[in-house]
């Protein structure tokens, strides 16, 4: 038997109050307590009241581990993203957590750093088993890793399109979005467009798709992208964006516009243009991708592609919750849900009206 607790001590854990204790106190059975707690329909108001009284008197709290063990579900899902400090993933996580809460789920966040090995580990780790399912935004995974995604638990992939095998995923319009941004720059009369950001050729990520959309748009206008105008940045941050922009300029490349493969890259690049005294959009127009909050308040504000982040988050959560409810694993023939992107024109490309540097 457990040693008798010393009442005067404030040590923790306080003697746990179980359903049995509540049942004893209320003079009912454990099952009845369970019925009350779980709001089962057929309980007499009288007994119900007695049980509730006992619960509050004893300060009873449900033990989730026991409940999970019995139910076979935890009420938690895992969200795996590269890094929370990247605004896009912070905002995405915000929405995933909010929507999950609406659906009664709590979210456990894992950071992979976008590193392939750690992404593979997330898929198979014991920690993953603590939750009912996984929403996964991969970055380092390659098409060759597709088989690793055929796991035996509910899984929804985020943001990528190329990795799809039989895995459910919510994709964004990377190609279309990038194409729209490029076409917009072309319409503004820009012809010497730099690209900031690069990607692992073996990868299957947003990088290759956005680059393709960009390149195709140029090709449609009979323009060939000059590789000297590509600023390499495998990691997509403000810092690497700035470095990439510097390299392009120091290479002596002639540039009248910049397309950042995402917003932080674009903002990093814009910072360098600012340092060099180049006016945006007067001398160089800038566009990004993601529509993060910063871009709405930067000076000048940043033209970008809104990938439908809120929609992606909501869809992913609903899909996953549905898979969990239906007891369906990944690898059982995955749906692809594509969210349409939207170009948002702001000052960094001349504003909606195409005027010059704004505001004066």
Binding footprint of a second copy on the chain (CB under 8 A): 10-14, 61-66, 68-69, 72, 74-76, 83-85, 87, 90-91, 93-94, 97-98, 101, 106-111, 126-127, 129-130, 152-154, 238, 242, 267-268, 270-271, 274-275, 277, 293-294, 296-301, 327-329, 331-332, 359-360
Does the footprint of DNA cover residue 30 (CB under 7 A)? Answer: yes
Distance between CA 96 and CA 208 in Å, rounded? 25
What's the min distance (Å) between Cβ of 251 and a second copy?
20
Residues 44-103 that bind DNA (CB under 7 A): 44, 46-48, 60-63, 66-67, 69-72
Distance between CA 169 and CA 175 in Å, rounded? 16
What's the min distance (Å) between Cβ of 186 and a second copy?
26
Does the footprint of DNA cover residue 127 (CB under 7 A)? Answer: no
Q: Which does 152 bind (CB under 5 to 8 A by kind): a second copy, DNA, none?
A: a second copy
Q: Which is nearer to DNA, 49 or 109 (CB)?
A: 49
CB atoms within 10 A of CB 54: 21
Question: Of 17-25, 95-103, 178-186, 214-222, which segment contacts DNA by CB under 7 A?
Answer: 17-25
Q: Which is nearer to a second copy, 49 or 101 (CB)?
A: 101
Distance between CA 259 and CA 233 in Å, rounded? 13
Q: Which does 91 bind (CB under 5 to 8 A by kind): DNA, a second copy, none?
A: a second copy
Of the residues 5, 37, 242, 310, which one makes contact with DNA according to CB under 7 A: 37
Q: Which does 268 bind (CB under 5 to 8 A by kind): a second copy, DNA, none?
A: a second copy
Does the footprint of DNA cover residue 28 (CB under 7 A)? Answer: yes
Q: Side-chain half-sphere of 81: how many Cα atoms within 13 Å?
A: 20
Which is nearest to 158 in space by CA: 270, 254, 78, 257?
Answer: 78
Inter-helix orientation angle 19-26/45-58, to 10°? 120
Distance between CA 88 and CA 289 in Å, rounded? 10
Report H helices in the chain. Answer: 19-26, 30-37, 45-58, 64-71, 87-102, 116-124, 174-187, 206-220, 238-250, 263-275, 293-297, 309-326
**DSSP label at residue 303:** B
Q: Where does residue 3 rank: exposed (0-12), middle (13-18), buried (19+ CB within 10 A)? A: exposed
- 161 token code pair: 């399109």
Q: Which does 32 bind (CB under 5 to 8 A by kind): a second copy, DNA, none?
A: DNA
Q: Which is nearer to DNA, 27 or 189 (CB)?
A: 27
CB atoms within 10 A of CB 175: 20
Across-strand partners of 6? Answer: none
Q: Which is nearer to a second copy, 189 or 282 (CB)?
A: 282
Question: Of 35-43, 182-190, 277-285, 345-353, which segment contacts DNA by CB under 7 A?
Answer: 35-43
What's the min distance (Å) between Cβ of 329 and DNA?
16
Q: Which does 4 bind (CB under 5 to 8 A by kind): DNA, a second copy, none?
A: none
Q: Are 251 and 227 in contact (CB under 8 A)?
A: no
Q: Are 315 and 360 in contact (CB under 8 A)?
A: no
The residue with tokens 């746990």 is 16
What's the min distance (Å) between Cβ of 213 and a second copy?
26
Does the footprint of DNA cover residue 18 (CB under 7 A)? Answer: yes
Binding residues vs DNA (CB under 7 A): 2, 16, 18-20, 27-32, 34-35, 37-38, 42-44, 46-48, 60-63, 66-67, 69-72
């Amino acid at each position: 038997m457990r040693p008798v607790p010393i009442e005067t001590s404030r040590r923790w854990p306080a003697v746990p109050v179980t359903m049995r204790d509540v049942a004893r106190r209320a003079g009912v059975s454990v099952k009845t307590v369970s019925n009350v707690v779980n709001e089962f329909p057929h309980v007499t108001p009288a007994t119900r009241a007695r049980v509730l009284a006992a619960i509050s008197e004893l300060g009873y709290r449900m033990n989730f581990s026991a409940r999970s063990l019995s139910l076979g579900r935890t009420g938690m899902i895992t969200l795996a993203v590269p890094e929370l400090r990247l605004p896009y993933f912070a905002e995405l996580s915000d929405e995933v957590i909010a929507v999950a809460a609406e659906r009664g789920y709590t979210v456990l966040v894992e950071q992979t750093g976008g590193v392939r090995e750690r992404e593979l580990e997330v898929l198979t780790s014991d920690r993953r088993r603590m939750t009912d399912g996984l929403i996964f935004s991969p970055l380092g995974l390659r098409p060759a890793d597709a088989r690793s995604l055929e796991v035996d638990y509910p899984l929804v992939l985020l943001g990528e399109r190329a990795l799809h095998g039989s895995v459910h995923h919510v994709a964004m319009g990377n190609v279309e979005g990038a194409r729209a941004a490029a076409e917009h720059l072309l319409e503004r009369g820009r012809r010497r467009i730099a690209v900031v950001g690069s990607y692992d050729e073996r990868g299957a990520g947003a990088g290759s798709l956005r680059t393709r959309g960009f390149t195709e748009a140029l090709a449609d206008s009979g323009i060939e992208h000059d590789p000297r105008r590509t600023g390499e940045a495998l990691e997509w941050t403000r810092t690497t964006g700035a470095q990439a922009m510097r390299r392009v300029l120091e290479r002596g490349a002639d540039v009248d516009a910049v397309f950042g493969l995402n917003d932080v890259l674009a903002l990093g690049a814009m910072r360098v243009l600012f340092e060099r005294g180049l006016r945006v959009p007067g001398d160089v127009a800038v566009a990004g991708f993601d529509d993060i909050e910063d871009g709405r308040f930067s000076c000048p504000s940043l033209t970008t592609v809104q990938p439908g982040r809120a929609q992606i988050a909501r869809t992913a959560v609903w899909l996953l919750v549905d898979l969990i409810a239906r007891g369906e694993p990944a690898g059982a023939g995955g749906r692809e849900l594509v969210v349409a992107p939207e170009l948002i024109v702001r000052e960094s490309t001349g504003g909606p009206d195409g005027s010059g540097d704004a505001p004066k």
